[in-house]
Amino acid sequence: MSNHHTDRQLAGYHHDPRFGRLLFASLGVHLAIVLLFSGVLLPRFQRDLRPVYHVDLVNLPVKSPQAGRPDARPEPAKAPAKPAPPEPVKASPPEPPKPKAKPEAVKVAKPEPAKPAAVKPKKPEAAQVKASEKPSAAEEKALQEKLQGMQARQQIDDMKRRLDEMAKSDTRHASVPGAPAGMLDGKGTEAGSSYDAWLHEYLKRAWTLSRYQVSRRDLKATVKLAFDAQGNLLDYNFIKKSGEERFDDSVRKAILQLKKLPNPPGSRMEKEIVFNLKDLLE
Amino acid sequence: MIRYFLLTLVGLALSAGSTLAQIEITAPGQQAIPLAVTRFLPLDGAVRPEIASEVAGVLQSDLDLSGIFRLIDPAAFLSDAQKPGLNSTQVDFGQWRLLGAEAVIKGAYTVKGDQLTLEARLFDTTGRRLLTGRRYLGKTSDARRMAHAFADEVLKSLTGEAGPFNTRIAYISNKTGHKELYLMEVDGHEPTRLTDHRSIVLNPDFSPVGKELIFTSYRAGYPDLYRREINSGREARLSHRKGLNIAGRYRQDGREIALTLSQDGNSEIYLIGTDGTLHKRLTNDWGIDVDANWSPRGDAIAFVSDRQGNPHIFIMDVVGGKVRRLTDAGKYNATPAWSPKGDRIAFSRLEGGRFDIYTIRPDGSDERRLTFGQGSKEHPRWSPDGRFLVYSSDAGGAKAIYLMRADGTGSRRISPAGGTSSHPAWSGPW
């Protein structure tokens, strides 16, 4: 009985359609595993490889730089309000009289050269009028050139528009959204860098020293610089030398390049500059 | 009491007033000196443009290799490059400053018959002054040598230590079908075959005191140590003891040589005189001890031993005989070379089926890998000033001699094409 039962069971097993499905499912699963490990089914993550530029950004120095930290006082909110006044100033009538004054001055000073200058712009206008009256082949060409020029302008406008769109679609964000651009220690209202930050960058650029010129990395020299209001270097002296001639010489050469600062400090200025090699590349 | 308090307040106020805000600059903005190397101009006599271009080429190549300079493209040079004046009052420094050059090399030559006079000057464009100048007299065939010598002088002026460009590199090449000893300039020019043993020549080393070399050769059928005077070509078999006589290295005084002998069955390091007499047995261990290399003071040797299992670098105090293990990482470290300043030891390590070059401090700290990428890099040797390393590499197919800065940058092939080249050794001042 039991044997008969077993035979039936086996027969049923062999004829059971579920066996075929199971077999098929098993094959499918194995195939999926093989494909998964071979990497065919894995989604290919493409990294957004944007070009990376190393840029030393040095803003022009301002008298009262604003803070760049989000925890700074809400003064930056006022900052946009302050630059606003210049707009009404620009919109106010003092500007229009300026161009008027200039041509007058030119006419008085050099009446003869002023005439051809005044005639020249008139010529194309006359040509335009003539072209509208008598559309000759040469003038048609001129018109076509103008049209081409307009098309070029349109293309430039299109490109500008695209650039604006690209800028808007840029997914990069500041680590702190809405954080104002400014200095770490800034307490003022102006966007820009502090004079010390600008001077730091300017001096750094003037300083040349190869790592193969010095045998040690613990070198340090302190120099006192004095500038007048126009940015002329009045005096410099080493408060402390490094003791290594090459290093001190490189510092001296950097200072000698600062005979006149391109951004004058506005008043007499004395600074102590510390030169060291803490961040020199190995 | 109130008076003291007020005085203190005034003192504090004054001291606060005298304290200036400090600006700290933690690295130079430019870490390579912008240098202009002008083409040397004829002073009088024959005009030889090939000499001018050869001198400029050697100077540019040497100074670029130093890593100290950023060479300014000669195409940007203005009119001052064509002016022959070599006095600081005759140089238009403003032009060079306009190009961003902080230093400029100018020069002139005079050729009369076979005689060449070369004048070379290095100017500081910021200080508007002459930094160094040299006049070289010789034959026209010496132009390259003169240029190398001035490149050394430029490095001396800007770093306080002369460069190693006017030296020679010895190496082994099988260009003739046999491994023979060759000599070449530091940039690979003028390769000259020194030996004609028609056998196997290996492992050369320069004498620190004269223009002579020691090397191992199988000329007599066995690996014996030979000595050869370079100028006269005279050669002598220095050590031909039973078994190996290999990897000889001169001590810094040039009076003794450390080499590996296997006369007693096992490979051990011995000390012999320059006349071949045995002075001292340095190692005595069951393991194989080879590749001895002297410390610059001559009081210790670095060598390779498998006494603790795998081949590693060990250091032995030659006087006291005390031995300590230097390398722990890796399973196969070989061919140590002690830097001339004594601060680092270069060696090659086998990993992943190929050798790469590393350096380590003699106390076992600060190990740095210098080479990467394809090919096996072996047999590192230091330049006499410790600025560069020369080594052999098969990265480009056949084994060739390469050169790089001591920090692993600026690697370039120097040995000429043809055959394989290996086992370099760097001479002292030539």
Note whether B23 contacts A: Cβ–Cβ < 8 A. Answer: yes
Chain A residues with CB under 8 Å of B23 CB are 196, 199-200, 203, 271-274
Q: Which CATH architecture has domain B168-426?
A: 6 Propeller (2.120)
Res A134 pLDDT > 70: no
Taking residue B293's Cβ as centre, other Cβ atoms within 10 Å add up to 24
Torsion angle (degrees, nearest 10) of CA B128, B134, B135, B137: -160
CB contact under 8 A, B159 and A212: yes
Mind telling me how many Å the CA of A34 is from chain B's nearest CA? 29
Chain A residues with CB under 8 Å of B410 CB are none
Please state the domain extents for chain B.
Answer: 33-159, 168-426
Tell me the residue length of chain A.
282
Question: Starting from the edge strand earliest in sequence, which strands make up the sheet with B289-294, in order?
Answer: B289-294, B300-305, B312-317, B323-325
Q: How confident is the model at residue A58 (pLDDT cuts 50, 70, 90)?
A: low
Q: Which of B19, B22, B23 is the best substitution to test chain A (most A C-beta atoms within 10 A)?
A: B23
In this prediction the pTM is 0.72
Please state the rounded mean pLDDT for residues B354-359: 97
* CATH 3.40.50.880 correct for B33-159: no
Is B342:B296 a contact under the CB 8 Å cutoff? yes
Is B58:B151 a contact under the CB 8 Å cutoff? yes
Question: Burial of B343 by CB count in 10 Å (0-12 exposed, 13-18 middle, 19+ buried)?
Answer: middle
Res A82 pLDDT > 70: no
Residue B129: what pLDDT?
Answer: 93
CB contact under 8 A, B30 and A213: no
Average pLDDT of chain B, as a whole number:
93
Mind telling me how many Å the CA of B114 is from chain A's nearest CA? 38
Mind telling me how many Å the CA of B52 is from chain A's nearest CA? 28
CB contact under 8 A, B30 and A272: no
> Rounded to an integer, what distance in angstroms lies between the CA atom of residue B275 and that of residue B294?
19
Domains of chain A, CATH where assigned: 93-167 (no CATH), 195-276 (3.30.1150.10)
Mind telling me how many Å the CA of A273 is from chain B's nearest CA? 5
CA B79, B81, B86, B88 torsion-angle sign: positive
Q: Which of A203, A208, A244 is the best substitution to test chain B (most B C-beta atoms within 10 A)?
A: A208
Please state the rounded mean pLDDT for residues B202-229: 95
Chain A residues with CB under 8 Å of B102 CB are 208, 253
Chain B residues with CB under 8 Å of A270 CB are 20
Give residue-wise pLDDT tens across range B121-145. Answer: 999 998 899 999 999 999 999 999 9
CB contact under 8 A, B23 and A274: yes
Q: How far lies A117's CA from each of A109, A127, B266, B291, B332, in Å?
A: 14, 17, 101, 88, 85
As given in the structure block, the two tokens for residue A157 are 């406008």
Mind telling me how many Å the CA of A218 is from chain B's nearest CA? 11
Taking residue B100's Cβ as centre, other Cβ atoms within 10 Å add up to 13
> Rounded to an integer, what distance in angstroms lies between the CA atom of residue B246 and that of residue B216?
6
CB contact under 8 A, B26 and A246: no
* DSSP letter (8 states) at residue B412: E
Q: How confident is the model at residue B297 (pLDDT cuts 50, 70, 90)?
A: very high
Residue A15: what pLDDT?
Answer: 60
Note whether B31 contacts A: Cβ–Cβ < 8 A. Answer: yes
Chain A residues with CB under 8 Å of B405 CB are 212
Mind telling me how many Å the CA of A202 is from chain B's nearest CA? 9
